[in-house]
Structure 1
Amino acid sequence: MNRKTLVLPAVIGLLAPVLAACGGTDSGSDSGDAIVVGTTDAFTASNDAPAPLDPAYAYDVGTWNILRQTVQTLMIQPRGEGDPVPEAAQSCGFTDSGNERYACTLREGLKFANGDPVTAADVKYSIDRARALKADSGVFALLSTIDTVETKGDREVIFHLKTADATFPFKLSTPVAGIVDPDIYAKGKLRDGFEVDGSGPYTLKAEVRNDQLVSAVFTRNPDYKGSLEVNNGKVELRSFADADAMGTALDKGDIDLMTRSMSPEQILKISADSDDNVDLVDMSGLEIRYLAFNTNDPTVRAKAVRQAMAQVIDRGELVSKVYGSQAEPLYSLVPASITGHSNAFFNKYGDPSVPKAKAMLEKAGITTPVKLTLHYTTDHYGPATKKEFELLRKQLNASGLFDVDIQGTPWATFRPAEQKGEYEVYGMGWFPDFPDADNYLAPFLDKDNFLGSPYANSTIRNTLIPESRRAADRLSASNSLMDIQDIVANDVPVLPLWQGKQYVAANDDVTGTAYAVNSSSTLQLWELGRGVSG
């Protein structure tokens, strides 16, 4: 197979935002076959999670990537990087000096795909619904700074916030703030299954087998009005059991493009091939991986146990042996390219040291070896996850201070078990809701956090997070953000491991691949077209 590699700028902000005028659906062609995109994301409806695609419930990168094609939000993250811009809104902005009152005016003529008009009352209904349902995924916490939502006429929506929140425009760009039709989405109940209805650039037809979505066909919505230029008439997102099966489909021509998650071996093989019928697009990414702790569990309740793990784990070895140049060690929850980042864990622990870890445990009176199980998901973060956890086990056991086992579980079972506190230590990934340091801290540390973690630090919750959100200039929030990271490094409710790049591999006749995924791992299927790539 013929391949070549395209490397995109790695520094946040180098890609200038480029937005089309309203009514961009006039571009592109409805003729020809759908552009077929492969993914290893699994979409499952289960007893624990029967409504995976309801905007009031969905809270993982895979389901959000379906919702972002179909359910419109007031704001949207731009094509490259930068502050969010109006999408369903014609304009939005703070109307006070304290960042506590935010007003949006809707575009004229907005319609749901079924023809119903989209009004300010629908926006209020959608936001209030997500806040009231308080789904156990924790996604409603993104809207926690809202006090009340007010409407004026059919087109004006005013958000009154409980406290200043300079990140609020970003939050209105996330699917939990998606606008839904009150006639379809019940007020007091999540919408089960895989149907999605909205006013976004596409409509969805889902193919489901055994409670799993195996194919999502997105057809351009002729009534869409927004900021996006849609460059195709139809895209199919096809789910594969693993990266090898997805790669085989690309080789055979069954799919046109593959995205997350390719294996490290696949990426190396594709990049090494000197031919050029397939492009490998290498772009900056803000994905992180970390270990999380149930701080109420007797095994890891003692802070010294968590600190000793932080002192023993060798991130450099982990990255070099499992991911190579496709990742880099991470010493904070906040990635290195985000304003407010600090190397808090390296500053506290330095290089890996068994003697230092041993001293920590002895001082706390902890009997060694500490026996525990590291839990990971087998089908959500890519095929290298098992190898990663095997190496973590080896590092910890080699210290003589730990007796570690590992246990892999499918995501549909893993996620509910983690939320119920059934695991003492577990591996997770984070794809940011929006590219701001707040979104790497508050979802893990604030009340109603994403993990359902029992860890609570009053200084972080009551002082530092609110203080950081008051700063419209995010650089001026750095001191508060760094203080949070220092506390995390000391208490270790989570243990950051690495941050990664992201890749897309596509047939050479598919255009728009450079913007197919943004830095937050959002699929931008409207960017894809057919022609001759560069």
Structure 2
Amino acid sequence: MLDRRSTPRRLVVAAVGLALLAGAAACSGPEDDGAGGGDAPAEGGTLTVLNTEPQENFDPARLYTSGGGNVPSLVFRTLTTRNRADGAAGTKVVPDLATDLGRPSENATVWTYTLKKGLKYEDGSPITSADIKYGVERSFAAELSGGAPYLRDWLIGGDSYAGPFGGGETTLDSIETPDERTIVFRLKKPVGDFPYLATQTQFTPVPQDKDTGTEYEKHPLSSGPYKVVENTRDGERLRLERNTHWSEKTDDQRHAYPDAIDVRSGLDPAVINQRLSTSSGADSKAVTTDTNLGPAELAQIGQDKALKERVGVGHFGYTNYLAFNPRVKPFDRAEVREAVSYAIGRSSVVNAAGGSALAEPATTFLPNQKALGYKPYDHFPAGENGDPDKAREVLKDAGYDEGPTITLTHSTEEGEMGPKIASAVQQSLQKAGFEVKLEGLEPNAYDERRWDTGNTPGFFLTRWGADWPAGYPFLAPIFDGRQIVENGANFNHAQLDDPAINKEFDEISRLTDLDAAAKRWGELDEEIGSRALAVPLFHPVYQRLVGKDVKNVVISDWTGVLDISQVAVG
């Protein structure tokens, strides 16, 4: 996924994007009816969603992944989707509009999909392969930018195609529709992960004769269980009601238990948590998909059994880490980077992030998820509190009788890249003899600086999450030399461009056996980790309240947040 909460190019989540993590996800308590087995949850009522971030750009072409805490997936179906199940089971990709995960050619450069029979829009008209082709094509238009970049990079002709509007080519020849139920994608290179990519909202069907361009977000034609009946103040208020032409017979992943879903955004986090805690009136049937509980709130909840049973815990593939730019002295020397790695006390960093309930210590870049290819390693073992003696030894062997003076750049905004984390890192390094100066930048200036290839700081806090649960979108943007961006948002902060590493990215990417690919992603992570180009710090954890009348809570490791498509209210 990306640094999805602040970059226009790469979610979630986040997204998002997207806080996040590794491990199982679940919600304890009597209201958790599970995703399967037992009696089906009752239908009816209105589910309220209380969020901080507005559901902006509610157009499938402009959304990054399924953004907005799963709300878009209620309206937009795609060729494939995530398995709607708790924890690790939710990292699997499954068919959605398509009958299967796609049929690759021998070298995985051609992917063919067949649509299910009986698919319909909210107006009862049939969904065709031509609609999916057009939906993908319109995502290339400059006025509808914001989606993930992979199609532009992977489809033949995608790098020069400008969408169906205005002059130039109006269609993309590398997408073929031989009949109303078949669609074929022709790629520049082998891509074994294409079934994951086909979960992105850019694969949502859009009938060309109903497209209103930048106005489409106000009333996109639904292919999912709910349709948009109100979208005001650029997504601050979004009201959805059941799509009567959607059928669970063609969609075994989503449900439509509530009659309506009322999304209210632009709210203060403290207000959201207070309203969910009190659970009076409509708030008893409310959830949030973007607001975490803080340490003080968790301490209070820990003393209240009823509240504790309403907390959902989620994990998503995300890593907070210290990044080095080896073009800036003294980080051009591997010994200095290694000494930093030995010195970091992750216990103090985790405490600064809110404690063990909100952060899990990390020694690998890949989070602890099988789907990502996680392989445990610790090239620079420092224990919970760091190993300042080993750090001093490494520095001395490198000719530093005294620790070098270094600058740690961070955001001035409180959070995972803010002053508290920076201070914890500073204290660890000072114990090892480093003289550490802190450079705090306002969030926008901070983002511009860390993504600017020519002006990247030598040492700074940052984070990354996967656009889907596999190794490629987690490792390639950070360590593939071909993805260094000279004039734009660059995420390969170390500017690593090793032909052997680049070749391994290509070799693994062509694998359609996802388990075999995962194993090799873990091995590649271990190899890159030995070069001390980053210091993994922690994987954030989601802890979120739901209203007292919310049932059927499902939280997968794909998103780490409650899946609205499974929720019922009673």
Give the TM-score category using the shorter length.
0.7 to 0.9
Q: Could you tell me how far apart the structure 2 residues matched to 1:99 and 1:439 are?
A: 17
Alignment map for 1:384-533 (pairs within 5 Å): 386-407=419-440, 409-410=442-443, 415=447, 418-421=450-453, 423-424=456-457, 425-446=459-480, 447-448=482-483, 451-453=490-492, 455-459=495-499, 462-477=502-517, 480-513=520-553, 515=554, 519-521=558-560, 523-531=562-570
Shift of 1:186: 8.2
Alignment map for 1:76-91 (pairs within 5 Å): 76-80=81-85, 81=89, 83-91=92-100
Letter matched to residue 231 of structure 2:
A
2:73: which partner in 1? 68
2:306 to 272, 275, 282: 275
Structure 1 contact 38–237 (Cα < 8 Å) conserved? yes
Deviation per CA, 1:407-451, whole angstroms, max 9, x where unpaired?
2644x6654554345552443444432222333212323344785
Q: Could you tell me how far apart the structure 2 residues matched to 1:363 and 1:136 are?
A: 51
1:287: which partner in 2? 318
Deviation per CA, 1:90-121, whole angstroms, max 9, x where unpaired?
33432444434321112345444566653222
2:287: which partner in 1? 257
Letter matched to residue 104 of structure 1:
Y
2:359 to 324, 327, 347: 327
Q: Could you tell me how far apart the structure 2 residues matched to 1:60 and 1:18 are?
A: 23
2:339: which partner in 1? 308
Q: Secondary structure at the match of 1:246?
A: helix
Deviation per CA, 1:9-37, whole angstroms, max 9, x where unpaired?
95489x9x9689xxxxx99756x4x3222
Shift of 1:309: 2.8
The 3 A distance-change label for structure 1 pair 341 and 488 is same
Structure 1 contact 510–529 (Cα < 8 Å) conserved? yes
Q: Could you tell me how far apart the structure 1 residues matched to 2:73 and 2:357 are?
A: 30
Shift of 1:378: 3.2
The 3 A distance-change label for structure 1 pair 388 and 90 is same
The 3 A distance-change label for structure 1 pair 463 and 151 is same
1:38 to 33, 36, 50: 50
Aligned residues: 498
Q: TM-score, normalised by structure 1?
A: 0.77
Q: Could you tell me how far apart the structure 1 residues matched to 2:432 and 2:143 are?
A: 43
Letter matched to residue 312 of structure 2:
V
Q: Could you tell me how far apart the structure 2 residues matched to 1:368 and 1:311 are?
A: 13
Structure 1 contact 93–104 (Cα < 8 Å) conserved? yes
The 3 A distance-change label for structure 1 pair 217 and 523 is farther
Shift of 1:154: 1.8
1:214: which partner in 2? 236
The 3 A distance-change label for structure 1 pair 138 and 310 is farther
1:378 aligns with 2:418: no
Deviation per CA, 1:359-398, whole angstroms, max 9, x where unpaired?
555666789543324223737x67x955333322332344
Q: Could you tell me how far apart the structure 1 residues matched to 2:326 and 2:55 are?
A: 29
1:104 aligns with 2:109: no
Larger deviation: 292-301 or 166-175?
292-301
Letter matched to residue 439 of structure 1:
P
Letter matched to residue 507 of structure 1:
G
Q: Could you tell me how far apart the structure 2 residues matched to 1:98 and 1:140 are?
A: 22
Structure 2 contact 410–439 (Cα < 8 Å) conserved? yes
Which structure shows the bigger proportion of residues in strand conformation? Answer: 1
1:343 aligns with 2:382: no
Q: Could you tell me how far apart the structure 2 residues matched to 1:356 and 1:491 are?
A: 17
Q: Secondary structure at the match of 2:191?
A: coil
Q: Could you tell me how far apart the structure 2 residues matched to 1:136 and 1:309 are?
A: 39
Q: Could you tell me how far apart the structure 1 residues matched to 2:427 and 2:470 are?
A: 34
Shift of 1:168: 1.6
The 3 A distance-change label for structure 1 pair 318 and 118 is same
Q: Could you tell me how far apart the structure 2 residues matched to 1:244 and 1:96 are?
A: 52
Letter matched to residue 475 of structure 2:
L
Q: Could you tell me how far apart the structure 1 residues matched to 2:209 and 2:532 are?
A: 46
1:161: which partner in 2? 187
Structure 2 contact 131–205 (Cα < 8 Å) conserved? yes
Q: Could you tell me how far apart the structure 2 residues matched to 1:487 and 1:135 are?
A: 39
Q: Could you tell me how far apart the structure 1 residues matched to 2:58 and 2:433 are?
A: 45
Structure 2, unaligned runs of 5 or more? 1-21, 27-31, 157-173
Q: TM-score, normalised by structure 2?
A: 0.73
1:357: which partner in 2? 391
The 3 A distance-change label for structure 1 pair 244 and 110 is same
Structure 2 contact 315–559 (Cα < 8 Å) conserved? no
Structure 1 contact 516–527 (Cα < 8 Å) conserved? no
Shift of 1:461: 5.2
Q: Secondary structure at the match of 2:78?
A: coil
**RMSD across aligned C-alpha pairs, in angstroms?**
4.2
Structure 1 contact 374–406 (Cα < 8 Å) conserved? yes
The 3 A distance-change label for structure 1 pair 501 and 434 is same
Q: Could you tell me how far apart the structure 2 residues matched to 1:118 and 1:377 are?
A: 48
Q: Could you tell me how far apart the structure 2 residues matched to 1:127 and 1:350 are?
A: 48
Q: Could you tell me how far apart the structure 1 residues matched to 2:448 and 2:546 are?
A: 34
Q: Could you tell me how far apart the structure 2 residues matched to 1:194 and 1:418 are?
A: 32
1:59: which partner in 2? 64
Shift of 1:38: 2.5
Q: Could you tell me how far apart the structure 2 residues matched to 1:363 and 1:133 are?
A: 53
Structure 1 contact 319–327 (Cα < 8 Å) conserved? yes
Q: Could you tell me how far apart the structure 1 residues matched to 2:542 and 2:100 are?
A: 32
Structure 1 contact 333–496 (Cα < 8 Å) conserved? yes
The 3 A distance-change label for structure 1 pair 434 and 478 is closer
The 3 A distance-change label for structure 1 pair 273 and 95 is same
The 3 A distance-change label for structure 1 pair 335 and 314 is same
1:200: which partner in 2? 224
Q: Could you tell me how far apart the structure 1 residues matched to 2:76 and 2:106 are?
A: 31
Shift of 1:490: 3.3
The 3 A distance-change label for structure 1 pair 398 and 69 is farther
Deviation per CA, 1:157-193, whole angstroms, max 9, x where unpaired?
1123344333221111123444445457689xxx499
* Greater RCO structure (CA 8 Å; 6+ sep): 2
Deviation per CA, 1:57-115, whole angstroms, max 9, x where unpaired?
54377546343333221101111225322212233432444434321112345444566
Structure 1 contact 376–409 (Cα < 8 Å) conserved? yes
Structure 2 contact 315–542 (Cα < 8 Å) conserved? yes
Deviation per CA, 1:195-240, whole angstroms, max 9, x where unpaired?
47253333343342xxx74343333333335512221122233335
Q: Secondary structure at the match of 2:379?
A: helix
1:233: which partner in 2? 259
Q: Secondary structure at the match of 1:333?
A: coil
The 3 A distance-change label for structure 1 pair 58 and 248 is same
The 3 A distance-change label for structure 1 pair 445 and 220 is farther
